[in-house]
Amino acid sequence: MAETRRIIRRRKKKKRRRRFLAFIVAALFFSMVAYISSQFMAGQSEAGGGFDKKEADKTKQAFEDRDQLENIEENQKDEKVNVLLVGSDSRGNGEPARTDTIMVAQYDTGKGTVKLASIMRDLWVDIPGKGYNRINASYSDGGVPLLTETIEKNFGLHIDEYAVVNFNGFKEIVDIVAPEGIEIDVEKRMYYQDNAGTVNINLQPGVQKLNGEELLGYARFRHDAKGDFNRVLRQQKVISALKEKLVSVTSITKLPKTVGALTQYVNTSMSTNEIVFNYGRRFLMDTPENIETARIPADGEWWPMTTQAGAEVLGHNEQQTQETIQQFFNAEDATTQTAEKEDNEEPS
């Protein structure tokens, strides 16, 4: 009888312990949810907003309509995701947005690798329905949908998603992710002010931590002998530095706040769930050691700047350019093509 009572008491203790543990787990879970929600909303509130929401919705709808017309299946077997990245100077005043940053990033969700191709903004291409012009004109004329069509037509590369960040948003996101700054080795003295007073770049050479505004200036600077060629190098350098910072322990704790800011400053086809729980989760769990980079056009495939339609343009071997970008993104054994190789020719 006494043994039976002891067994009953032990069972009651076990039940109490299980209930207590369940309570602790539930409390921790709801605390985590509350923290994530509060940080997400804090990121949204601190971000002043960078895009016209109606225009962003129209862009997303046009992009989705394109996929439907092309019969693109939602659950593709291909694990490679091609994302168009655009840096926009949209000021929200009704003027056409311009871009000096056009990149295509490919994330292989199966292998956990990332490739990044920078497309020179002055590249002479065939814009659907418009004829030949600089590739950045496609963005000014028709935004993301026309830029996407232009890339697909000229390079035979399908774009699965897009993300457009305006310059104010870039500065804010950098300051949220790295309030102490992003470490960059500034390779030379950089100074430039435009006539309107909207661009003010003033950087000294050497290793230093740059805040959002300084990092944007570093990425946009092109007033040296190689102009946009060196700017592409700096933009890729900034992307790599941001990647390293984003996967650091301190930045992961700020992820909800960062995502909250992203929803305000980044116009993208991807939902918050896709950013956080799909691509973001996989990226954090299997972070690529390096980002493989390329510049389009590659060395030996372009010729000095010429004037077309009243603007300086970058001519290139169109067939070779398409073959290069196809090999870079599609070849299983693609050799790393870095834009850090020295050009034998300097752009005029």
Structural domain includes residue 89: yes
- Element (DSSP H or E) covering residue 88: strand 80-88
- pLDDT value at position 34? 46
Structural domain includes residue 4: no
Structural domain includes residue 12: no
- The region that residue 313 occupies, defined by phi over 0 for left and psi between -120 and 50 for alpha, beta otherwise, is beta
- pLDDT value at position 23? 56
Range of the domain at 296: 47-330
- pLDDT value at position 74? 47
Judge contact between 91 and 269, C-beta under 8 A: no
Q: Please give the single-letter amino acid code of residue 294.
A: A
Structural domain includes residue 204: yes
Structural domain includes residue 258: yes
- pLDDT value at position 102? 94
Give the angle 107-108-113 at the CA atoms, nearest 5°: 80
Q: How many CB atoms lie within 10 A of CB 153?
A: 14
Look at the chain and report how many structural domains it folds into. 1
Which stretches of the chain drop beneath a pLDDT of 70? 1-53, 67-78, 90-95, 196-197, 249-254, 332-348
What's phi and psi for 216, nearest 5 deg?
Answer: -65, -45
Pairing of strands 190-193, 266-268: unpaired
Rg, the chain, Cα only: 24
Give per-residue burial for 212-233: e unless 16+ CB within 10 Å, then b.
bbbbbbbbbbbeeeebbbbbbb
User: How many alpha carbons fall within 13 Å on the CB side of residue 337?
Assistant: 19
Question: What is the rounded CA–CA span in Å between residue 194 and residue 101?
Answer: 18
- pLDDT value at position 139? 94
**Distances from the Cα of 88 to the Cαs of 91, 139, 213, 266, in angstroms?**
9, 9, 15, 10
66: closest CA among 193, 162, 196? 162
For residue 72, give the 3-state DSSP assignment.
coil
**Distances from the Cα of 269 to the Cαs of 63, 135, 176, 180, 244, in angstroms?**
8, 21, 22, 30, 24
Structural domain includes residue 340: no
Structural domain includes residue 27: no
The residue assigned the tokens 């060196």 is 230
Question: What is the rounded CA–CA span in Å between residue 170 and residue 274?
Answer: 20
CATH code: domain of residue 155: 3.40.630.190
Judge contact between 334 and 126, C-beta under 8 A: no
For residue 197, give the 3-state DSSP assignment.
coil
Q: Please give the single-letter amino acid code of residue 171.
A: K
Cut 0.85: pTM above it: no
- pLDDT value at position 298? 94
Structural domain includes residue 215: yes
Question: What is the rounded CA–CA span in Å between residue 283 and residue 280?
Answer: 5
Structure-block tokens of residue 57: 């919705």
Q: What is the greatest pairwise CA distance in the chain?
A: 102
